Amino acid sequence: MKAIQITEPSVMKVVEMEKPQCGADEVLLRIQYVGFCGSDLNTYRGQNPMVKMPVVPGHEIGAVIDEMGEKVPAHLKKGMAVTVNPYTNCGHCPSCRNRRYNACQHNETLGVQRNGAMCDYIAVPWQKIIPIGDITVKHAAIIEPMSVGFHAVSRGQVVDTDVVMVIGCGMVGVGAVVRALVRGAKVIACDMDDEKLAIVRSLGADYTINSAKENVHERLQEITGGAGPDVVIEAVGAPVTYQMAVNEVAFTGRVVCIGYAKQDVQFTTKLFVQKELDIRGSRNALPEDFEGVIRYLEKNNPPYDILISACVKPAEAEAAMQQWMQAPAKVFRILVDFTE
């Protein structure tokens, strides 16, 4: 079978690999579409410390069941369109004992700590299979990144009386914006790119702030009547946005961190105490977050064309990655099409 492999920094190839066998507890998937995410971009740049090359990237999946092992339950059927929960969990670490399997201490994510799904076929445990209902298999490839944003909103315990600020309007940030809106919150989206801000406005964001052109503090004070947002979700992973989250959140507010900065971050720690803040990490997603995204997509049928920047064949994947690397702010999601 053909597969896309990142062999070393800035080198991506289409290679031939052996088709996987389907174990008794596994489902063999015929891959249709896979999305490139930020971790894949960092791997290609040589900036992902969790990756050991060569690696097959990809964990944002739209696929069809091709074969099933003998121990796979009957509700999964050949030909069914599905996506995949791409994280492993050991079942024994503190996270797993607390049923927060998304944050397993020994997690291995497809395309990061182990080979991913940018190939013709992949075998996965049946427990990781998520049927996608009426969503097209192409659009299923955006479920996983949106679910990460959905999970962050759950971590922030967002309710309908909250004002929520989302910093960073990539696909994960879009997921956070959408779920906060679904929960009835007032949502402020912040980014440096007008095109991304236009997308979240089209999805219902109440306010947008371009942090490259506007004074973020003044705008937030104006919008919130001087209080600041009740919840700030950081979906960038940069020192300046981490500091912004802590500085701008309201007293007794919640800060939820999805991105992680590659450099150390300096904080005015008295704000942690004075504001009595809850500062929470948010990692990956739980099955219920995937299900929430699926229900949202089925009900709302969002403008997929603006969420998917490009759809390319495997032979075109490296050129698409290079274009993304040169202009990261202008690319929303790139899908790789493995259909024939």
100-137 confidence digits (pLDDT tens): 999 999 999 999 999 999 999 999 999 999 999 999 99
Residue 330 has pLDDT above 90, yes or no: no
- pLDDT band at 60; cut points 50, 70, 90: very high
Q: Find, among 196, 207, 195, the residue nearest to 235 by Cα.
A: 196
Cβ burial 208-237 (10 Å sphere, 16+ → b, else e): bbbbeeeebeebbeebbeeebbbbbbbbbb
DSSP string across 103-120: G-TT--BBTTTB--S-BS
Mean pLDDT of all residues in 76-105:
97
Residue at token pair 């069941």 = 65
- For residue 243, the tally of other CB atoms under 10 A from its CB is 17
For residues 262 and 229, which has the higher predicted lDDT (pLDDT)? 229
pLDDT at 38 exceeding the cut of 90? no
Q: How many CB atoms lie within 10 A of CB 175?
A: 31
Token pair for 252: 């007794």
Q: What is the dihedral of CA 99, 105, 111, 116, to 10 degrees?
A: -50
Count the neighbouring beta carbons within 10 Å of the beta carbon of residue 75. 9
Phi and psi at residue 301, to the nearest 5°: 45, 65
User: Tens of pLDDT along 193-235?
Assistant: 999 999 999 999 999 999 999 999 999 999 999 999 999 999 9
Region 168-186: what's the mean pLDDT?
A: 97
Query: pLDDT-based confidence at 331, cuts 50/70/90?
Result: confident
pLDDT of 261 above 90 = no
- Give pLDDT, residue 260: 85
From CA 22, how far away is CA 211, in angstroms rounded?
A: 49
Indicate if the pLDDT at residue 21 is higher than 90: yes
Amino acid at 215: N
Burial of 54 (C-beta count, 10 Å sphere; 0-12/13-18/19+): middle
Q: Which amino acid is at 157?
A: Q
In terms of DSSP bridges, do strands 26-36 and 334-337 run parallel, antiparallel, or are they unpaired? Answer: antiparallel
50-55, long-range: CB < 8 A, 24+ apart: 50/112, 50/113, 51/6, 51/112, 51/113, 53/6, 53/7, 53/8, 54/5, 54/6, 54/7, 54/8, 55/5, 55/6, 55/111, 55/112, 55/115, 55/116
Rounded Cα gap, residues 312 and 322, in angstroms: 13
Burial 252-291 (b: 16+ CB within 10 A, else e): ebbbbbbbebeeeeeeeeeeeeebebbbeebbbbbeebbb
Closest CA to 26 of 129, 140, 109: 129
Residue-wise pLDDT tens digits, 244-258: 999 999 999 999 999
Tell me the pTM: 0.96
Q: What is the CA radius of gyration of the chain?
A: 20
